[in-house]
Amino acid sequence: MIVMTAFAARRHFDPLFAGTTIPDMTPDEFTLALNYKVSMGKSQEAPGYAPFCKHLFVENFTEAEMGVAPITDTTRPLLKVGYKARRPGELPVLETWFDREEIRCRLLMADCPWLDVVLYSRDQLALEDVELPEGAEWGIVAILSAPTPEEAPMKPITMMRNALGKDQGGSGVPLDADAYARAVAYWSNRATVEGV
């Protein structure tokens, strides 16, 4: 059984979140639908960045739009930059994003054909002081839009936060220089989208 963590619920079901938001379902409705799709064999599993992480790719069954937009000559003037923390007590880090309404005016928001649901194991979540209910082995930590059923590189700042350790809101996984370089190349041309 897969459950929604409070961390993911606070982020992906908030219309002001920078990234992929689920506007038409509650966290419980999403989790129920996801578990059903997994039980019916309508998901694809892939390994994550560490042994305790995995990805479930499912065809988008929500009204979610792409949570990432390209940085182009047309969209660059709309790019916003600032320091943000994902939750209280976490170090604010430098982020870039687009305002959803502004980016819609400049380009058509791309369809979101796939969702990449990022899961952490029960044991890893316990190390991060997140308890799962009895019988749940995996917890949803992120819901990402995806054009294909393939993992996009993690943001470089997320890799750095993870390397800082659990005290700073990360997972404690050391920085991988090659993965970091791929992430920089990918995210140099893209930014998350936030707002209703």
In a domain, 95, yes or no: no
Domain hosting residue 46, numbered range: 2-69+109-151
Q: Of 89, 101, 91, nearest to 163 (Cα)?
A: 91
**pLDDT value of position 86:** 78
Beta bridge mates, 118: 55, 142
pTM of the model: 0.82
CATH number, domain of 14, equals: 3.30.2310.50
- 3-state SS assignment for residue 25: coil
In a domain, 104, yes or no: no
In a domain, 143, yes or no: yes
Element spanning 104, H or E: helix 100-106
Mean of the per-residue pLDDT values of the chain: 91
The single residue listed with the structure tokens 């009204």 is: 63
**pLDDT value of position 108:** 56
77: which DSSP letter? Answer: G
Where in the chain does DSSP place strands (E)?
A: 2-4, 44-47, 53-59, 68-70, 80-84, 93-99, 114-121, 138-146, 190-194
In a domain, 121, yes or no: yes
**pLDDT value of position 79:** 95
All residue ranges of the chain with pLDDT < 50 are none
Question: 142 with 12: CB under 8 angstroms?
Answer: yes
The number of folded domains in the chain is: 1
What whole-number distance in Å separates Cα of residue 119 and Cα of residue 84? 23
In a domain, 50, yes or no: yes
